C-alpha cells in the first residue's frame, strides 16, 4: 500500500526487516492468554531480531542500546494484553411479556385500592394522611434498597439532578402529588370504591383542559366531543349514585384536579427528562412523605400511632408492600405494552374494581351509573386513540 505505513502493536517482520501485518486469527478460535506470548508467523516461520530492533528504535551497533531495546520488547510482550477486534455482543434483556405482566399489574393495582378501603372501613382505621405518609416513607426506603441491590434503578444514572432542578421542578410536582394522594385517600372514607372509579374517568378531561390553558394542547373538534362524552358519562354516574356524599365527592374531584395538574407540570417542568415510575418515586417519595407528615399533628394527631398495634405490623407492612409492588410492576408494564394496551388494561381494571366493590363491600350501583360509566370508558379509549 502507498501512503502512511500502519504500525501494529507487535508487528512481524520478514527477513529484510520491513514490517508487515500479521494475519488476524479467526474470532471463533482466538482467545488471549494473559502473559503467554501471542505467536506470530513471519517469513520462513521465524522472527527477525533485526526487524524487532528496528521497530523499537533500530540497532545502531551499540550493544547496550540493542540490549536495552531487547529488554523493552520482552517487557511489552509479557505485559500487553492483545484483545481481538470482535464485534460487540449485545446482551439480550429479558423482559416480561404483556400476557404475564398485565394481570400482575391489574391484581396489584386493584389490591392497593381494596386493601386501603378494607383498612379504612372494615378495620376502622380512618387515617388517610398517615397511610399516605407511611406508604411514601416505605417507598423512599424501598427505592434506595433497590438502587443498592438491583439494576431496576439504573435509570437514575441518566438523570442529572441538581439542587436547582429539585427545588424548581421536583418539589412543586411533589406538592401536587402529595395533595392528590391525601385527597383521594380521604374520599375513600365516605364514598364507595365503585363511585370513586367512575369519577376517576374524568381525569383525561381535566388533563385536556389544563393542557389547553397552558397552550400545550389544541382542542380540536374531535377532542371537544371526547370531553363532552366523558363529562356526560361522569355526570350520569354521579347522578345515579344512591349514597352521594358531598364532602367525599369534593375530595375526589379535587384529587383528580391535583393529579391532572401534576401530570401537566411534569410535561412542562421535566420536559425531555424521562423517568420511569420507580425513578420518579425515588425523587418524589421523600419530599411527599415529609409534606404529608407536616399535616399529621393538625389533622389526625397521635391517634394513628396509638391504633397501629391494634391493626398489627403484619397488615401494615403488607399494605405498604403491595403499594410498592405496584410501582415495580409499572416499570415492567411500560416496557412490555403500548399506550392503547395500557388504556384497555386500565379500563378492565376499573370494571374489575367496581365488580369487586359490589361483591366484597356491598356497594350498590344503578343502571344509570352503568350507562354513564360506559360512556366515560368509551370516551377514555377514544381519547387515547386520538392522542396517538
Provide the pLDDT for residue 201: 85
pLDDT bucket at 138, cuts 50 / 70 / 90? very high
H or E stretch at 206:
helix 203-213
Provide the pLDDT for residue 62: 53
In a domain, 59, yes or no: no
Provide the pLDDT for residue 344: 75
Instruction: Give the number of domains in the chain.
Output: 1
Which pLDDT tens digit goes with each residue over 314-359? 999 999 999 999 888 887 876 666 656 777 777 788 888 888 888 8
Q: What is the signed CA dihedral for 366, 369, 374, 379, rounded to 10 degrees? A: 180
Provide the pLDDT for residue 71: 56
Mean pLDDT of the chain: 77
Query: In the predicted model, what is the mean pLDDT of residues 5-17?
Result: 45
Check the CA dihedral 122-303-294-247 and report its sign.
Answer: positive
The grid coordinates of residue 223 equal 377532542
Provide the pLDDT for residue 318: 95
Provide the pLDDT for residue 165: 86
Provide the pLDDT for residue 246: 93
In a domain, 43, yes or no: no
The grid coordinates of residue 374 equal 360506559
Which of 35-39, 139-143, 313-317, 339-343 shows the lowest mean pLDDT across its residues?
A: 35-39
Query: In the predicted model, what is the mean pLDDT of residues 160-189?
Result: 90
In a domain, 37, yes or no: no
Provide the pLDDT for residue 137: 93
Which of 50-59, 211-220, 329-338 shows the lowest mean pLDDT across its residues?
A: 50-59
In a domain, 276, yes or no: yes
The grid coordinates of residue 159 equal 438523570
In a domain, 84, yes or no: no
In a domain, 46, yes or no: no
Q: Which of 349, 350, 377 is nearest to 106 (CA)?
A: 349
Query: In the predicted model, what is the mean pLDDT of residues 141-157?
Result: 90
In a domain, 380, yes or no: yes
The rounded percent of the chain whose pLDDT value lies above 70 is 72
In a domain, 126, yes or no: yes
Which pLDDT tens digit goes with each residue over 235-276? 998 888 888 899 999 999 999 999 999 888 888 877 767 777
Domain containing residue 241: 97-386
- CB contact set of 233 (below 8 Å; sequence gap of 6+): 201, 372, 373, 374, 375, 376, 377, 378, 379
The grid coordinates of residue 226 equal 371526547
Amino acid at each position: 500500500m502507498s501512503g502512511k505505513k500502519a504500525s501494529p502493536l507487535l508487528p512481524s517482520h520478514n527477513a529484510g526487516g520491513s514490517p508487515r501485518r500479521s494475519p488476524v486469527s479467526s474470532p471463533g478460535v482466538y482467545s488471549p492468554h494473559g502473559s503467554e506470548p501471542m505467536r506470530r508467523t513471519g517469513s520462513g516461520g521465524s522472527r527477525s531480531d533485526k526487524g524487532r530492533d528496528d521497530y523499537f528504535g533500530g540497532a545502531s551497533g551499540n550493544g547496550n542500546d540493542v540490549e536495552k531495546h531487547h529488554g523493552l520488547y520482552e517487557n511489552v510482550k509479557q505485559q500487553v494484553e492483545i484483545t481481538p477486534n470482535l464485534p460487540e455482543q449485545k446482551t439480550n434483556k429479558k423482559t416480561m411479556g404483556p400476557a404475564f405482566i398485565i394481570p400482575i399489574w391489574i391484581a396489584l393495582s386493584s389490591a392497593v385500592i381494596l386493601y386501603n378501603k378494607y383498612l379504612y372501613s372494615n378495620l376502622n382505621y380512618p387515617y388517610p394522611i398517615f397511610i399516605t405518609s407511611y406508604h411514601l416513607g416505605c417507598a423512599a426506603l424501598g427505592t434506595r434498597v433497590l438502587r443498592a441491590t438491583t439494576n431496576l434503578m439504573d435509570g437514575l444514572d441518566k438523570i442529572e439532578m441538581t439542587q436547582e432542578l429539585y427545588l424548581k421542578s421536583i418539589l412543586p410536582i411533589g406538592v401536587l402529588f402529595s395533595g392528590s394522594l391525601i385527597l383521594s385517600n380521604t374520599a375513600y372514607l365516605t364514598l364507595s370504591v365503585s363511585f370513586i372509579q367512575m369519577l376517576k374517568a374524568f381525569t383525561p378531561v381535566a388533563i385536556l383542559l389544563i393542557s389547553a390553558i397552558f397552550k400545550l394542547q389544541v382542542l380540536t373538534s374531535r377532542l371537544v366531543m371526547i370531553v363532552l362524552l366523558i363529562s356526560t358519562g361522569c355526570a350520569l354516574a354521579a347522578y345515579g349514585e344512591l349514597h352521594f356524599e358531598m364532602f367525599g365527592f369534593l375530595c375526589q374531584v379535587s384529587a383528580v384536579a391535583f393529579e391532572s395538574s401534576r401530570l401537566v407540570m411534569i410535561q412542562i417542568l421535566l420536559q425531555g427528562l424521562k423517568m420511569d415510575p420507580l425513578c420518579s418515586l425515588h425523587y418524589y417519595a421523600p419530599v411527599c412523605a415529609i409534606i404529608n407528615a407536616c399535616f399529621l399533628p393538625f389533622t389526625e394527631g397521635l391517634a394513628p400511632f396509638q391504633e397501629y398495634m391494634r391493626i398489627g405490623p403484619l397488615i401494615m407492612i403488607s399494605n405498604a408492600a403491595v403499594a410498592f409492588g405496584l410501582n415495580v410492576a409499572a416499570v415492567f408494564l411500560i416496557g412490555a405494552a403500548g399506550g392503547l394496551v395500557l388504556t384497555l388494561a386500565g379500563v378492565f381494571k376499573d370494571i374489575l374494581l367496581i365488580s369487586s366493590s359490589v361483591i366484597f363491600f356491598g356497594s350498590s350501583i344503578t343502571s344509570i351509573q352503568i350507562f354513564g360509566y360506559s360512556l366515560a370508558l368509551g370516551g377514555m379509549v377514544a381519547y387515547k386513540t386520538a392522542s396517538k
